[in-house]
Structure 1
Amino acid sequence: MEDRSQWAERIIDQIADAVVVADRSGVIVRWNDASAALFGFAAEEALGQNLDLIIPEHLRASHWRGFEAAMTKGVLKLQGRPTLTRALHKSGRKLYVEMTFAIVKGEAEGKVLGSVAVARDVTERVERERAARAS
């Protein structure tokens, strides 16, 4: 049987939701297959890039304020609560995604190592709801 870390890696690779892990400075360090499918960037293109890769320009300032506060305080305002937001596809198309965020802490002293976001595409649902309200 494989060890727990190998299991964890397989789960992240095979889960249907996008999993994006960033270090304390907002550089992408883990990008699963579902992230590639959702955002259009292969892992080789995304790894080592700044999170701005998938954040629409008009949301970047507020994202970085929240991100830096979370990395400093070790606490998230939205911890575990799904949040509807916009994201950017490689093609430039804007997506609606539902995301949950968590702080990643090390075992020793609970030092903040970075963050993880789990996302799914809800563009069709949001557009359907908007169309229903408009009619």
Structure 2
Amino acid sequence: MNQDKIAERIVADTLDAIIYCDRSGTIELWNAGAERIFGWTPAEAVGQNLDIIIPEKHRDVHWKGWERVMETGETKYGADPLAVPGLHKDGSTMSLEFSIMMLHDDAGRIEGIAAILRDVSKRWKREKELRARVRELESQKP
């Protein structure tokens, strides 16, 4: 199997969401993992704005950061995964971690951003419960 076919299968079949958006934030690639996590089919998501997965109260901050990255080509996060809330098609929210990669044209201008996202809601909930339990136990010390 050639490398292009392998890469195509990895993107298509991975359980993590792989999304690519152009400079305007319009979704151009939406894999099966994105459908599994967010509930939107590729036919529903491609051509839509990223707002379909960003909770409304976080959109202003997201788009300000997006514009800054498009203007400067720099992100303050580097290789560290980002932790943000996400929005499912049914309106429920989730905790996400993701990394991004900026794609540049031949002149070095950002063409768009690819992201690999993972739903970490279960882990976030467990950690929150553990922190609460630790606080409870610490408050019981003599």
Aligned to 1:127: 125
**Overall identity of the aligned pairs, in %:** 39
Aligned to 1:35: 34
Q: Which moved more, 1:39-48 or 1:78-87?
A: 78-87
Compute the TM-score of the two structures, normalised by the length of structure 2.
0.88
Aligned to 1:65: 64
Q: Secondary structure at the match of 1:7?
A: helix
Amino acid at match of 2:38: F
Aligned to 1:99: 98
Aligned to 1:11: 10
Report the RMSD for the aligned CA atoms in angstroms: 1.3
Answer yes or no: is the 8 Å Cα contact 1:80–1:102 preserved in 2: no
Q: Secondary structure at the match of 2:99?
A: strand
Answer yes or no: is the 8 Å Cα contact 1:26–1:51 preserved in 2: yes
Inter-partner Cα distance in structure 2 for 1:79 and 1:51: 21
Answer yes or no: is the 8 Å Cα contact 1:103–1:115 preserved in 2: yes
Deviations 1:72-108 (A, max 9, x none): 11222223211111000011110001111121112x1
Q: How much does 1:132 deviate?
A: 1.5
Q: How much does 1:38 deviate?
A: 0.4
Amino acid at match of 1:111: R
Q: How much does 1:118 deviate?
A: 0.8
Answer yes or no: is the 8 Å Cα contact 1:29–1:48 preserved in 2: yes
Amino acid at match of 1:33: A
Answer yes or no: is the 8 Å Cα contact 1:79–1:102 preserved in 2: no
Answer yes or no: is the 8 Å Cα contact 1:104–1:116 preserved in 2: yes
Aligned to 1:118: 116
Amino acid at match of 2:98: M
Inter-partner Cα distance in structure 2 for 1:51 and 1:59: 12
Amino acid at match of 1:12: V
Q: Secondary structure at the match of 1:29?
A: strand
Gaps of 5+ in 2: 134-142
